[in-house]
Every structure is written in C-alpha cells, then in structure tokens.
Amino acid sequence: MEAAQADTVIAPSLLAADFARLAEAAESVAGAVDWLHVDVMDNHFVPNLTLGPPVVKSLKAATDVPLDCHLMIEDPERWALGYAELGAHNVTFHAEASADPATLAKRLRSAGAKAGLAIDRDTPVEDYLDLLPEFDTLLIMTIKAGFGGQAFMPELLDKVRTARRHAKAGHLELRIEVDGGIAEDTIARAAEAGADAFVAGTAVYGADDPAEACRRLRSLADAAR
Ligand code: DX5
Ligand code: ZN
C-alpha cells in the first residue's frame, strides 16, 4: 500500500527576520507554520556568519514551534549533535561538509532529533541516494547556500524529482525540503517536483503580514501537490 501523502510543511527562515527581535518573528507566524527554519552559518562553509547554539537555546525557550536547524558549517561531526541536545526538531547538515553522513545521522536520531541531509547547488543528488534511509529530511538547495534573497533556480528541481522517485520506489518516508527563492511565484513548481517542505525567508518576513504570507504559500503548495 502507498503511504499517505505527508502534510505540507511551511518553514519560514528567520534569516530574513530582524535578528534583534527573533522571538517576535517566531510569534508572528506561530499557528500558521510547522517549523521555524534557523540558518546556522560559520563564515567557513559559506562566507556568511549568523548564529549558533546560544541563540538556538534562547529560541527554543521562546517558542513552541519546532526548530529546523540548517547547519551551513564545516565539521558538522563536531557541532551538529549539540543542536539535537538543545531540542532542535530537525538537524540538517551539508553532505559536502561531512566525512560520514550516515554515522552522523544515526547519532542525531539517537539524540532524539530528525536527521537531515542538505545538498548544495553544485552537488549531484545521485551520490547520496543510497544514504537516504538514514535520513528523515533531504534538503535540496534551490540557490547556492549562503545568503537570503537570491533568485530561485528551477533547474535544481531535477534533483527533487530524482530524490522523490527514489524515495517512492524504496517506500522511504522522506521529507524533501526546498530552500532558496521560494515564494508565491515559485512554490508550485517545487511542490509539483515532489517537495513537501518549503523554506521561505524573504517571501515571509518581507511581507506586511508574515502569517498571511505563510497561509498563501501553503495553499499554493497544497494545490500543486
Ligand atoms: C540561505 C538559507 C535560506 C535563506 C532563504 O543559504 O539557507 O534558508 O534564508 O532565503 P530566501 O527565502 O529569501 O531565498
Ligand atoms: Zn536554509
């Protein structure tokens, strides 16, 4: 029997929010979203620098919305587990940065988190298909990781199609998350390709009413899936 289709996940990215008011940014979308996407950047894996464990700890105390930590960092073997221990719902690290993704995924799951694998713009997904049973989430970048506000790259959706086909054939329960340039004019294409979790920074926190922006994104995704 085919597994029932998973519900759409909408995950606003706090990267586009006011960093002096992160709790308010979380509050402004609570009730309209499933996860809060937290972009951790270390100025090494990507040129940008954002936040780390102390901020995630404070966010965890400030909101009940599950935290979706996207680690754009080197040496995730050293750091990722700490995010699981802080209570992150989902901890996603980059395939390009990890020496042994399957082992790290097992450790994250043992620590009580969902394990996520992220694939950046220039990385083929084929190399990682065999590892997917170890993961709950596959994050396909639809831009080059590092900065918000970049233009969506529709050609990267081929990776979503490949991964979704593979997951279906293997009866894997896999969330496929897209990140980068997701907005009202792009989310349907990503949903049609097989994504079921959608990160949106600028499209949410750049809107006058962030919660309403999330509701509109969800209905567009639901209609396309
Ligand atoms: C960038 C981050 C994204 C970013 C997306 O590397 O991973 O989560 O916030 O921003 P938008 O939605 O503005 O493209
Ligand atoms: Zn992200």
- Per residue in 24-34, pLDDT (tens digit) is 999 999 999 99
Answer whether 105's CB lies under 8 Å from 139's CB. Answer: no
pLDDT band at residue 191 under the 50/70/90 scheme: very high
Asked about 222 being catalytic, the answer comes back as no
34, 39, 68, 196: the active-site residue: 39
Run of H or E residues at 2:
none
Q: What is the pLDDT of residue 95?
A: 98
Asked about 158 being catalytic, the answer comes back as no
Q: What residues does ligand 1 touch, defined as CB less than 6 Å away?
A: 13, 15-16, 37, 39, 70, 143, 145-150, 179-182, 199-203
Whether the pLDDT of residue 155 is over 80: the answer is yes
When pLDDT is averaged across residues 12-21 and rounded to a whole number, the result is 98
When pLDDT is averaged across residues 167-191 and rounded to a whole number, the result is 98
Q: Which of 15, 144, 186 has the most ligand 1 atoms within 8 A of CB, as the residue to mutate?
A: 15
- The pair of three-digit structure tokens given for residue 167, joined into one six-digit string: 């997951």
Furthest-apart CA pair in the chain: how many Å? 48
Using CA positions, which residue lies closest to atom 10 of ligand 1?
Answer: 148
Measured from the CA of 41, which atom of ligand 1 is nearest? 6
Whether the pLDDT of residue 9 is over 70: the answer is yes
- What does R_g of the chain's alpha carbons equal in angstroms? 16
Q: What percent of the chain has pLDDT over 70?
A: 99
- The pair of three-digit structure tokens given for residue 4, joined into one six-digit string: 């029932």
- The pair of three-digit structure tokens given for residue 76, joined into one six-digit string: 């995730």
